[in-house]
Structure 1
Amino acid sequence: MDALHEGWRQAVEAARGGAVYRALADAIAADIAAGRLAPGAALPPQRRLAWGLGVAIATVTRAYDELSARGLVTAEVGRGTRVGRRRRADDGVIAPREAARPRRRRETSAEAEDETALIDLSLAQPADPAAAAALSRTLAALAAAPQAAELLAYQPARGAARHRAAGAAWLGRAGWSPDPARVTVTAGAQHALVVALAAIAAPGEAVAVEGLANPSILAAARFRGIRLKPLPIDAEGAAPAALDRLAAEDGRLRGAILSPSLHNPTGASMGPARRADLAHVIARRGLFLIEDDVHAPLAPPAALPAPVAALCPDQVLLVGSPSKVLGPGLRVGWLAAPAALDDRIAAALWASAWMAPPLGAEIVTRWIDDGTAETLATAARAANLRRRALLDQRLPGLDLTLAPACAHAWIGLGPDRGHDRVWDPDRFAEAAEAAGVRVAPARAFTVPPVPAPAAARLSLAAAPDDAVFLKALDRLARLLDPRAAPSSLRPIA
């Protein structure tokens, strides 16, 4: 078996007892993204690959079907299964499996009485009605403002000066804030991630990331054709020593994309010492760090250390957004980056969006300037703490990882509640959805070839109010009842 197939075998072995077909599909997809499988290349015949990997033919069939559903391969009679053509810059992007599923609107309190209505706790978004009221007031004020017409015109590519200054204020904490001249306004944090990746790495080059990572990061890397190298994580997130070793081993490693503050999905945060160690490794190895700081506003202002960008500003690209406390629909983000990357960032901006929509940036700027943003952030923090208490009350004894400020909980599905077996996270997610609650299984966050742990992420902020959230918890409590779990969750040995 050649080196390519050996990587597939390792992915399959790591997933034994779980969704092996999906692990195989992920491994093949990673090789396609990295260019190791060129457009038009034929995948091995299913029977031969099944024999070589020691799996059932049905497993390979499901893996190929999964790749086809992602738009990565095509199957034709007489030609077998082949890698699809490489997407042009104007082609659509294949969304992650979780994002591609049809989504209902968020359930209302009245609908919470309906036992069949789906409650989606897979996404983290605030649910404070005060935000809608603030939006109405601001839109009315904008409509009456004499300068409203300016928002219909082209803006400077990196954003209007006042919008960049507001972004610098939002990104700052612990006595530090970036120079507004180094801040670029983007169409949300996801846009900032794509621009940042384009600035530091070319297709085929490698970037390190936590072994469990934000699915948006995985999608951005896949879109750019960038290889992701997983790093081990612990209670403080990624280990700087592991990044140091990886940089020594891989000469094509361009940098890392990490979440030092309220990591998604585990909620881990780096302390000051680890941030200093990370900055030291980045500087010594000549790497770039994309610092995902999107969840940081969920913590009280003094609860987190300064970003790593404060320690190493010439090599860190800081990504921030108000979406977790103001709402994702505004699509506003910021990227604070070194001056050395200005040309690359400008090129990525021009190719991807020309400029961020100025209307959303103006709304957020006004909210930052008049204190509305901090008022809504304070309310979001209080709501998350309140729902954390409800979670502890309704699901006592749950194997739970949840930072006090986090908007999501990382639920362990290992031996608990009287069981001595581990639940498969994909099967748990399927059973939860059948029970009326959507959660995000661990595989959505897993970077191949890291095996998916027995865990799932549950959002505290997704439900529109506490009544709906309690309804979801009650459904999960019934599902996790040891008297019902063996049949409904189908545990694996």
Structure 2
Amino acid sequence: MDLELNFAVLPSQSAKLADALEPLLRTDVFTDALHPVGAAGTKAVREAAAGLLARGGWTPGPGTVLITGNGRQGIAAAVSAFVPMGERLAVEALTYPVVKAMARRLGIELVPIETDAGGLVPAALEAAHATAPVRALYVQPTLHNPLGPTMPAARRARGDRATAGPARGRGQHLRLPAPRNRAARRASPLKRQRAGSLAAYWLRLKR
């Protein structure tokens, strides 16, 4: 089954999308929307994105926000920056197919990590890293797509410990797609307060 493309079918979605796109029909707004935007974006866009990414008492600095053309470009930029060719990238056993294609192009080995009803299993990540070090982890701890589970708080805490060792030894990075649901954003992310570790959050916004 190819899960690369999925499309939500809701009875009212066409009308809601039409209402949201209507302001773009204004000549002045449409002209501005067509202008090219660099990776730094604008101050207003960076501040808005930082606010949307905030969760669990943590808010990224607007200066750390970069803008990409779409979600796939953002994933590709993060993976290529964090994982050198020939290194290993840990992913959930059922993950975004686009990540698989990107890994092939970049010469990166994907390491599938067991999941269950609570999401990624930290012990499986620890075992995979013990077998051969992984350089990074791509995980969706909140509202996993397409399975839907949200990782419980206790498991998130263990996930933090599971990534702490690789972070100290190899400069591990966490790659965490950010949910757009307001209630889900209240859940604390896996912690990033580890020496030598980096975290990249991805927020996809559709026009």
Aligned to 2:121: 239
Q: Which residue of 2 aligns with 1:144?
A: 28
Q: How many pairs are equivalent?
A: 199
Matched, 1:319 2:205: no
Equivalent residue in structure 1 for 2:51, among 169, 184, 189? 169
**Counterpart among 107, 111, 130 of residue 248 in structure 1:** 130
2 CA distance for matches of 1:179 and 1:139? 33
Q: 2:140 corresponds to which residue?
A: 259
Distance 2:198 2:28 in 1: 43
Deviations 1:387-418 (A, max 9, x none): xxxxxxxxxxxxxxxxxxxxxxxxxxxxxxxx
Compared CA separation, residues 259 and 163, structure 1 to 2 (3 A): same
Q: Secondary structure at the match of 1:248?
A: helix
| DSSP-derived class of the 2:143 partner | coil
Aligned-pair distance for 1:265?
A: 2.1
Match for residue 391 of structure 1? none
In structure 2, give the amino acid aligned to 1:198.
S
Aligned AA (1:166): A
Q: Secondary structure at the match of 2:7?
A: coil
Point out the structure with max Rg over C-alpha.
1
List alignment gaps of at least 5 residues for structure 2. Answer: none
Give the 3-state SS of the residue equivalent to 2:150 in structure 1: coil
User: 2:164, 2:148 → 1: CA distance?
Assistant: 26
> Relative to total residues, which structure has the larger helix share, 1 or 2?
1
Which whole-Å CA distance do the structure 2 matches of 1:270 and 1:278 have between them? Answer: 10
Q: Shift in Å at residue 212 of structure 1?
A: 1.0
Q: Deviations over 1:277-318 (max 9, x none)?
A: 21222222212111122xx223x4367512225656942111
- Does residue 292 (structure 1) correspond to residue 174 (structure 2)? The answer is no
Q: Which ranges in structure 1 are unaligned for 5 or more consecutive residues?
A: 1-18, 20-96, 100-121, 324-329, 331-493
Among 18, 21, 24, the alignment partner of 1:135 is 21
**Please, which of 270, 273, 278 is the counterpart of residue 159 of structure 2?**
278
1:210 CA displacement: 0.8
Letter of the 1:144 partner, please give it. D
**Percent identical across equivalent pairs?**
29
Aligned partner of 1:193 in structure 2 is 75
Change over 3 Å in CA distance of 1:244–1:173 after alignment to 2: same
* Residues 157-190 of structure 1 deviation map (CA, whole Å, 9 limit, x = unaligned): 3322221111111112333221111111112221
1:29-49 Cα shifts (integer Å, max 9, x gaps): xxxxxxxxxxxxxxxxxxxxx
Distance 1:317 1:285 in 2: 16
1:317 alignment partner AA: A
Instruction: State the 1:137 CA deviation.
Output: 1.4
Confirm or deny: 8 A CA contact 1:309 1:318 kept in the other structure.
no
Q: Secondary structure at the match of 1:301?
A: helix
How far 1:200 sits from its partner (Å)? 1.0
Q: Distance in 2 between matches of 1:172 and 1:254?
A: 25
Is the CA contact (8 Å cut-off) linking 1:207 and 1:229 kept in structure 2? yes
Amino acid at match of 1:169: G
Q: Aligned with 1:204: secondary structure?
A: coil
Q: Distance in 1 between matches of 2:191 and 2:75?
A: 15
Secondary structure, in 3 states, of the residue corresponding to 2:40?
A: coil
> Are 2:135 and 2:166, in contact at CA under 8 Å, matched by a contact in 1?
no
RMSD of the alignment, in Å?
2.8
In 1, the alpha carbon distance for the partners of 2:16 and 2:44 equals 25
Counterpart Cα distance in 2 of 1:261 and 1:302: 7
Query: Is the CA contact (8 Å cut-off) linking 1:291 and 1:319 kept in structure 2?
Result: yes
Match of 2:39 among 137, 157, 178: 157
Residues 201-237 of structure 1: CA deviation (Å, up to 9, x unaligned): 1222111111111212222222222110111101111
Q: How does 1:21-32 map to 2 (within 5 A)?
A: none
The separation in 2 between residues aligned to 1:158 and 1:210, in whole angstroms, is 30
Q: What is the DSSP-based 3-state SS (H/G/I as helix, E as strand, rest coil) of the residue aligned with 2:66?
A: strand
**One-letter code of the match for 2:98?**
S
Give the SS at the match of 1:278: helix
Contact 1:279–1:312 at 8 Å: present in 2 too? no
Please, what TM-score do these two structures have when normalized by structure 1?
Answer: 0.37
Separation of aligned partners in 1, 2:55 and 2:135: 27
- Indicate how the Cα distance of structure 1 residues 261 and 181 shifts in structure 2: closer, same or farther if over 3 A, else same: same
Letter in 1 for 2:152: G
